[in-house]
């Protein structure tokens, strides 16, 4: 070997010779973390069960994930209110995670522009190892506590931003290091964990959605993944409701970027103007530059799209206020 160390040869249980590095760092014992523990109610031989029984056991186990999120609704809501205040000052919400946690953050962030008409820089998802890790696992990247520094540099993280680290077990060095660095740069910081732990250095708010032991020991893509996705759904949906992107239960700021979304925009406009046909509704949306909220206000008050847009701006983006005060 180039460094002068010779590997040690050991016998494997299969009777073959296996090479191990001469020196192997012993990893920290994570057996105390709830998501790593064996599920006491599920110690039976899963590999011997009928497939349908496995499916039923998994679905029952998944229900606990949603209950865990509901149990923390108050803490999550307080965090959301802080995010909204910072976004009103042009701040951003930035998710940081590794593996499944990182993928879920990227997924949630990427859905905000088409759903809420958000700028692509309002909610940003960063995964350890970069975008290649979305398709190919790169577990080793998560062990570097300084690994997120280049991305934080590129984003120029600052005091108006909120950085949410996502780590199912709450111990990922890449995530914890990013939180500490983001705090040093003045950002508001939080950690979303699915296992109880103390607040780490640099963390302003700890969100613990305690999902307990997994159906398959240590596989946090299961309950922890479900709880994480549900929590992120709640965070961005409630945030953009507060920011005026929703009226009643309609996504009035959606971007009609494909046929499905254009059809949805047409049907939403027809809720406000049922006297129209689909062709006329589509024409109003087109005349409004694809901005559904503008089309709604223009039709409701009989205004030009430009005038409707100015009215919406005066109402801080609130469709409800624009409809009431035109």
Q: What positions carry a catalytic annotation?
A: 111, 142
Alpha-carbon distances, residue 161 vs 82, 87, 152, 164, 188 (angstroms):
10, 8, 11, 10, 6
Sign of CA dihedral 253, 255, 261, 267: positive
- DSSP character for 166? E
- DSSP character for 205? E
With beta carbons less than 8 A apart as the criterion, state whether 92 and 151 touch.
no
Size (the chain), residues: 326
Q: Which two tokens stand for residue 295?
A: 């089309």
Degrees, nearest 5: CA angle 145-188-254: 105
> Which among 102, 82, 112, 80 is positioned nearest to 251, based on CA atoms?
112
């Amino acid at each position: 070997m180039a460094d002068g160390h010779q590997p040690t040869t050991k016998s494997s249980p299969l009777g073959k010779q296996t090479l191990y590095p001469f020196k192997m760092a012993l990893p920290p014992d994570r057996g105390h973390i709830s998501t790593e523990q064996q599920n006491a109610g599920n110690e039976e031989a899963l590999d011997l069960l009928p497939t349908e029984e496995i499916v039923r056991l998994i679905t029952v186990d998944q229900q606990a994930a949603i209950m865990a999120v509901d149990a923390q609704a108050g803490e999550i809501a307080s965090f959301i209110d802080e995010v909204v205040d910072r976004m009103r000052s042009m701040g951003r919400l930035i998710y940081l995670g590794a593996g499944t946690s990182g993928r879920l953050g990227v997924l949630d962030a990427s859905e905000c522009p088409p759903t809420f008409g958000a700028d692509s820089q309002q909610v940003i998802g960063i995964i350890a190892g970069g975008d290649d890790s979305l398709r190919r696992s790169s577990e080793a990247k998560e062990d570097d506590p300084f690994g997120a520094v280049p991305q934080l540099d590129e984003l120029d993280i600052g005091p108006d931003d909120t950085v949410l680290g996502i780590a199912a077990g709450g111990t990922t060095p890449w995530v914890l290091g990013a939180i500490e660095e983001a705090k040093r740069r003045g950002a508001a910081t939080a950690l979303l964990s699915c296992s109880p732990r103390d607040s780490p250095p640099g963390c302003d708010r700890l969100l613990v959605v305690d999902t307990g032991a997994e159906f398959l020991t240590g596989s946090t893509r299961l309950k922890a993944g479900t709880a994480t996705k549900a929590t992120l759904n709640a965070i961005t949906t409630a945030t953009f409701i507060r920011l005026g992107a929703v009226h009643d239960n309609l996504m009035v700021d959606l971007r009609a970027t494909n046929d499905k979304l254009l059809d949805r925009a047409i049907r939403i406009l027809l809720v406000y103007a049922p006297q129209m046909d689909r062709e006329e509704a589509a024409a109003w949306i087109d005349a409004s530059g694809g901005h559904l909220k503008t089309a709604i206000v223009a039709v409701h008050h009989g205004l030009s799209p430009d005038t409707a847009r100015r009215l919406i701006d005066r109402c801080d983006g609130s469709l409800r206020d624009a409809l009431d005060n035109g």
